[in-house]
Amino acid sequence: MTTDFPTGEVGVRFQSLPVVEGQLFRFEQTRLRVLADVVSKTFETFSKSELDLLLGEALYSERFRLKRERANLFTRTRYKADKALWSKVQDGLLESSVAVDRKALLRSVIKHYAEEIGGHFDPRVYRFATHAVPWGMNWLLNAASVQRFLPWGMTESLASRLDVIGEVSMLQRLAHRGTILLVPTHQSNIDSVLIGYLIYLMSLPPFSYGAGLNLFSNPVLSFFMSRLGAYTVDRKKNNGIYKEALKNYSVRILREGVHSIFFPGGGRSRSGAIESKLKLGLLGTGLEAQLQNLRVGAEKPNVYIVPMVMSYHFVLEASSLIEDYLAEAGKHRFIITDDESWDPRKVLNFFWKLFSSQSGITSRIGRPMDIFGNFVDEDGQSIGPNGTTIEPVRWLTTCGELKAEPQRDHEYTRELGAKIVQGFHEGNTVLTSHLVAFSFFEALRKKYPELDLYRFLRLSVAQRSMPYFEFLTHAETFYQIVRNAADRGQLFMSKSFETSDIRTWVKDGIQNLGLLHDAAVVKVVDDVVWTEDMNLLYYYRNRLCGYGFSLLSEAGGGLGGQPGKIDSKGFLA
Amino acid sequence: MVNPEKSIPKDFWRNSKIAVIGGGSFGTVLANLAAKNCQEVRLWVRNEDSARAINATRMNSRYLPNYTLHSNVSALSALDRVFEGGLDAVIWCLPSSSCREQAKRIAPYFNGNEVVLHATKGVEAGTLKRISELLREELPTRRIGVLSGPNLAEEIAAGKPAATTVASVFAEVAQAGELLLASEQFRIYRESDVIGVELAGTLKNILAIAAGALDALQLGWNARAMLITRGLAEIVRFGVAMGAKESTFLSLAGVGDLLATCSSSLSRNYQVGYRLAQGEHLSQILDDLEATAEGVTTTHSVWRYAQIHDIEMPITESVSALLTHRKKITEILQDLFEKRQPR
């Protein structure tokens, strides 16, 4: 279902939509109460715990973290405050519990965390950002675009390059009926900026979201984010107290009616594939918020989960991400702090390439769901099988009582996670570049079926090429496979495929694929197709894994796919 | 130390109202077992006359003559009356062939807070969907579990001791099963591997047919032991391929059920095999049986799936041949013995 939402061709110059105010606009007035609630709620959770042990463990992991962390000019204050707090805890723990109250210690730790997590919202900054940033972008766009040669000058706008399709009107409607939890796929740090802008374009009130603490070390980003409702998430703090406080904060702002964004995959997709394993802890906060709302009889208790899939022809950080994936560096996954997305020139280059290539970014809003993963109708009612309506209160009642049941709620959230993964795959818009990368990669693999992933990625330059016509036949085959899948509703294909000549879309795909990178991901020279970077090719190819499109028998031979499955040769199937 | 948290579910289920869908022999037994542990049991039977007969005689004479029903049990045929005022649990005891259709009919009566426990030992023909999957697709609730084990209804009805397994991904469903059904003669074990419990209960019916056939030919104890052991290996292979845990097949729902069904002439699937081996025709046998023999459809569905996915199941293949009268029983046995050793 598409909507009347202004996308694509509209492109009004300096288009400025009215800012829609939402709960976040009133956030500053409630902020202190929210934080106080987070502190007391978190404190309550640990009321029965062995406090010496709890604090001791937290102290150990925090000391460890602080030892390895390097503070810069902008993070020094926070670093020092952290250090002071944990020195105090250490001193306190060395005293007897009579002399130093453990509860007071715990409370001060939670308070410290809550203050760090809690964001701010400044309506003035929001107005500025929604107008000035796009203005700058539009200026860049028009400078980069070939259309600048046209006599009427600046005709393009950022909005015209952002295509939002899918259940937009439903999302707009549901935003008035409950709290939205937007769960997008995550490929690039640019995602959060773009999504923030898309939300404004969709005439939705601003959303809150968790941003990695490392983003705040950049003064410009920090200025904006900390005033636009972002709260900080520090993945390096892995102690129980912090996690509980973070979870409670997210529950609390959802209960406040603040729409939120979670990247349910936890971080950016390293492999380039659509997320298949989600962080259920964070996802479960939706259920928890709704349950607490229902218990106190809130006016709009419902939380709606809305998947969103972003499709890029090129991803700024692709090479760092795929390298990290291939190194299987699970342990230091979250500590890429200096990848391309921090270099302003690279970011500028990204947008320059985006605008000059005439290509855009497609995002699709998926069908909204309730906290259990049931689809909801336009009125926000959960749809059950056989024309039934599901009342969440009933599903959350156990033994006649409406209350939290950790095992049950975890199970509900697990199923919600599975539904989101399914929604991601079904809402994926295949771009021409994705199919080019996939076809070429699989065609090469067919030539060397005995190689495992790591040997395959080390093919020599001569080995990783093939005649153009041969590649075309493969592209045609995979086009048909993907088209059939699209007809079955397993995914979508972009408009660029609507051409009778296969060469047209293949050309479009090759042009756009990884346009940003120094190395050509797929290149045609003298009727020979080859790649300069196997890792990047693998990265872009992975966008189409999980559907069972591969024809190789190792990958199941086209017998349907399973997201996240790895075949016997180590490739994402 | 008494845990006050624990007594909440106990009190709740003691005061609960439940329904048993399906008034076959096992449904009747379960209704009676639950009646002792809750306030009211409504036994749904398809036709109004049998409901009246059951209520008048306090007996389900068609399936279990001489088995008196508990005073908390009442038989009903109208669904709106079964669900009147809301239920706390639904025990599902329909044959697999009618599960889909009845679930569609019953779905609108559900409130969503009900806990569902099914005791159907079968899979949907063709799709090979497990009953819990099927019910999930049709009913507006997710709290669904399975009950399965060596439970020959006639023996439980006679007050002989027995045990069973309940499994669900929701702990509260398994707990409900335990609190509702446990008694001095009936013990409940909780499991978490739903796939394993459902498949074990389903697949053993294939072997029950084979066991009946062997007995009809009077092939002796050695042959029976061989059948059960090799048959177990075969169903484990299939189960694991479908995502079950191997260890589940060693539980009551696995070996337990297998031993009971393969050794008892009370089992309907056993009777089917027995009479087939004596040369009777399948349609004739099925006409004579009062109730469904799940093994017949299961064998066909499983064998078809095993062929597609290359799972070695020689005994299932043989039973399938026997059921379709493709081969004579002597030929089938010959084939089985000539078969090359699987790795």
Q: What percent of chain B has pLDDT over 90?
A: 69
C-beta separation of A157 from A13 below 8 A: yes
The alpha carbon of residue B65 is apart from the nearest alpha carbon of chain A, in Å, by: 35
The alpha carbon of residue A416 is apart from the nearest alpha carbon of chain B, in Å, by: 12
Nearest to A388 among B9, B108, B143 (CB): B108
CB contact under 8 A, B138 and A412: no
Specify the pLDDT at position A358: 66
Query: Which of B111, B137, B179, B308 would you mutate first to test chain A, the one with the most A CBs within 10 A?
Result: B111
A216 versus B234: the higher-pLDDT residue is B234
Indicate whether A443 pLDDT > 70.
Answer: yes
Q: Which residue of B has its CA nearest to A383?
A: B140
The alpha carbon of residue A417 is apart from the nearest alpha carbon of chain B, in Å, by: 15
pLDDT digits (tens, 9 = 90+) for B117-139: 999 999 998 889 999 999 999 99
Nearest to A394 among B112, B137, B171 (CB): B112
- For residues A522 and A530, give the distance between their C-alpha atoms in angstroms, rounded to a whole number: 6
Going through A366-433 in order, the beta strands assigned E by DSSP cover 382-383, 389-390, 397-398, 401-402, 429-430
Specify the pLDDT at position B272: 92
Chain A residues touching B132 at Cβ < 8 A: none
pLDDT digits (tens, 9 = 90+) for B247-299: 999 999 999 999 998 888 878 899 999 999 998 888 888 888 877 788 899 99
pLDDT digits (tens, 9 = 90+) for A55-77: 999 999 999 888 888 777 777 88
The whole-number average pLDDT for the span A264-285 is 89
C-beta separation of A10 from A159 below 8 A: yes
Domains, chain B, with CATH or none: 4-192 (3.40.50.720), 196-338 (1.10.1040.10)
* Structure-derived torsion over alpha carbons of residues A299, A305, A306, A311, reported in degrees to the nearest 10: 150
The alpha carbon of residue A573 is apart from the nearest alpha carbon of chain B, in Å, by: 18
- The dihedral sign for the CA sequence A328, A332, A333, A336: negative
State the alpha helices, DSSP H only, in A427-467.
432-447, 453-456
Q: Give the 3-state DSSP-derived string for A277-301, with helices as H, strands as E and coil as C.
A: CCCHHHHHHHHHHHHHHHHCCCCCC
Chain B residues touching A390 at Cβ < 8 A: 112, 140
Q: Which residue of A has its CA nearest to B100?
A: A386
The alpha carbon of residue A369 is apart from the nearest alpha carbon of chain B, in Å, by: 15
Q: Does B171 touch chain A (CB under 8 A)?
A: yes
Chain B residues touching A398 at Cβ < 8 A: 172
CA angle A488/A491/A494 to nearest 5° reads 120
DSSP bridge pairs for B41: B18, B73
CB contact under 8 A, B107 and A386: yes
Q: Does B104 touch chain A (CB under 8 A)?
A: yes
The alpha carbon of residue A390 is apart from the nearest alpha carbon of chain B, in Å, by: 7
CB contact under 8 A, B110 and A408: no
Chain B residues touching A388 at Cβ < 8 A: 107-108, 110, 140
Indicate whether A264 pLDDT > 70.
Answer: yes
Q: Give the 3-state DSSP-derived string for B22-55, with helices as H, strands as E and coil as C.
A: CCCHHHHHHHHHHHCCCCEEEEECCCHHHHHHHH
Nearest to A405 among B104, B113, B172 (CB): B172
pTM of the model: 0.89
Nearest to A386 among B9, B104, B171 (CB): B104
- For residues A169 and A305, give the distance between their C-alpha atoms in angstroms, rounded to a whole number: 15
Topology (CATH) of A120-426:
Glycerol-3-phosphate (1)-acyltransferase (3.40.1130)
Chain A residues touching B113 at Cβ < 8 A: 394-395, 397
Going through A237-323 in order, the beta strands assigned E by DSSP cover 260-261, 303-311
Indicate whether A159 pLDDT > 60.
Answer: yes
Lowest mean pLDDT among A223-237, A282-296, A417-431, B211-225: A223-237
The whole-number average pLDDT for the span A358-363 is 79
First to last CA, chain A: 30
The most confident of A82-86, A128-132, A518-522, by mean pLDDT: A82-86
Q: Does B108 touch chain A (CB under 8 A)?
A: yes
List all residues of chain B from 77 to 96 with a beta carbon under 8 Å from chain A: 88
* pLDDT band at B342; cut points 50, 70, 90: low
Q: Which residue of B has its CA nearest to A395?
A: B113
List all residues of chain B from 142 to 161 with a beta carbon under 8 Å from chain A: 142-143
Specify the pLDDT at position A145: 54
B100 versus A319: the higher-pLDDT residue is B100
The most confident of A348-362, A422-436, B251-265, by mean pLDDT: A422-436
CB contact under 8 A, A384 and B140: yes
Residue type, B175: Q
CB contact under 8 A, B171 and A407: yes
The alpha carbon of residue A393 is apart from the nearest alpha carbon of chain B, in Å, by: 8
B204 catalytic residue (yes or no)? yes
Indicate whether A10 pLDDT > 80.
Answer: no
Distance of CA B170 to the CA centre of its chain: 20
Task: Please report the DSSP string for A488-553 in residue order.
Answer: TTS-EE-GGG--S-HHHHHHHHHHHTTTTSSS-SSEEETTEEE-S-HHHHHHHHGGGTTS----SG
The whole-number average pLDDT for the span A300-326 is 89
Q: Does A415 touch chain B (CB under 8 A)?
A: yes
pLDDT digits (tens, 9 = 90+) for A406-418: 999 999 999 999 9
Lowest mean pLDDT among A122-131, A177-186, A427-436, A479-488: A122-131
The whole-number average pLDDT for the span A93-117 is 89
Specify the pLDDT at position B3: 54
CB contact under 8 A, A399 and B9: yes
The whole-number average pLDDT for the span B238-254 is 93
Chain A residues touching B140 at Cβ < 8 A: 384-386, 388-390
Lowest mean pLDDT among A39-43, A178-182, A355-359, A410-414: A355-359
Indicate whether A360 pLDDT > 80.
Answer: no
Q: Does B39 touch chain A (CB under 8 A)?
A: no
**Sequence spans of domains, chain A:** 120-426, 429-555
The whole-number average pLDDT for the span A443-450 is 90
- The dihedral sign for the CA sequence A554, A556, A557, A563: negative
Indicate whether A137 pLDDT > 70.
Answer: no
Indicate whether A333 pLDDT > 70.
Answer: no
CB contact under 8 A, A407 and B110: no
Per the structure block, which two tokens stand in for A218? 């950049």
Residue type, B294: E
The alpha carbon of residue A188 is apart from the nearest alpha carbon of chain B, in Å, by: 35
Indicate whether B220 pLDDT > 80.
Answer: yes
Q: Which residue of B has its CA nearest to A400?
A: B12
- The dihedral sign for the CA sequence B13, B14, B20, B25: positive
Indicate whether A346 pLDDT > 80.
Answer: no
Specify the pLDDT at position B32: 94
Query: Which of A287, A386, A397, A414 would you mutate first to test chain B, the one with the most B CBs within 10 A?
Result: A386
The whole-number average pLDDT for the span A512-533 is 86
| B122 phi, psi to nearest 5 deg | -170, 180
Indicate whether B105 pLDDT > 80.
Answer: yes
Q: Does A403 touch chain B (CB under 8 A)?
A: no
First to last CA, chain B: 53
Q: Does B110 touch chain A (CB under 8 A)?
A: yes
Going by DSSP bridges, is the β-strand pair A303-311/A361-365 parallel, antiparallel, or unpaired?
A: antiparallel
Going by DSSP bridges, is the β-strand pair B40-44/B73-76 parallel, antiparallel, or unpaired?
A: parallel
The residues, any chain, with a CB within 8 Å of residue B166's CB and separated by 6 or more, are B117, B145, B146, B147, B173, B174, B177, B178, B181, B188, B189, B190, B191
- The dihedral sign for the CA sequence A160, A165, A169, A171: negative
Query: Mean pLDDT for chain B?
Result: 90
Q: Does A384 touch chain B (CB under 8 A)?
A: yes
Specify the pLDDT at position A13: 36
C-beta separation of A247 from A281 below 8 A: yes
The active-site residue out of B10, B104, B204, B339 is: B204
Chain B residues touching A395 at Cβ < 8 A: 112-113, 141-142
Indicate whether A319 pLDDT > 50.
Answer: yes
Chain B residues touching A385 at Cβ < 8 A: 107, 137-140
Q: Does B330 touch chain A (CB under 8 A)?
A: no
C-beta separation of B95 from B52 below 8 A: no
Indicate whether B5 pLDDT > 80.
Answer: no
- For residues B282 and B325, give the distance between their C-alpha atoms in angstroms, rounded to a whole number: 8
Chain A residues touching B110 at Cβ < 8 A: 388
The alpha carbon of residue A361 is apart from the nearest alpha carbon of chain B, in Å, by: 36
Question: Which of B139, B88, B140 lies closest to B114 in space, CA to CA?
Answer: B88
Q: Does A395 touch chain B (CB under 8 A)?
A: yes
Q: What percent of chain A has pLDDT over 90?
A: 40
In Å, what is the CA distance from B236 to each residue of A253, B230, B245?
49, 10, 9
pLDDT digits (tens, 9 = 90+) for A289-299: 999 999 999 99
Q: Does A398 touch chain B (CB under 8 A)?
A: yes
The residues, any chain, with a CB within 8 Å of residue B251's CB and separated by 6 or more, are B165, B189, B191, B196, B197, B200
Count chain A–chain B contacts defined by CB atoms under 8 A: 55
The whole-number average pLDDT for the span A210-227 is 73
Indicate whether A140 pLDDT > 80.
Answer: no
Instruction: Report DSSP state, residue B256.
Output: I
Residue type, A53: L
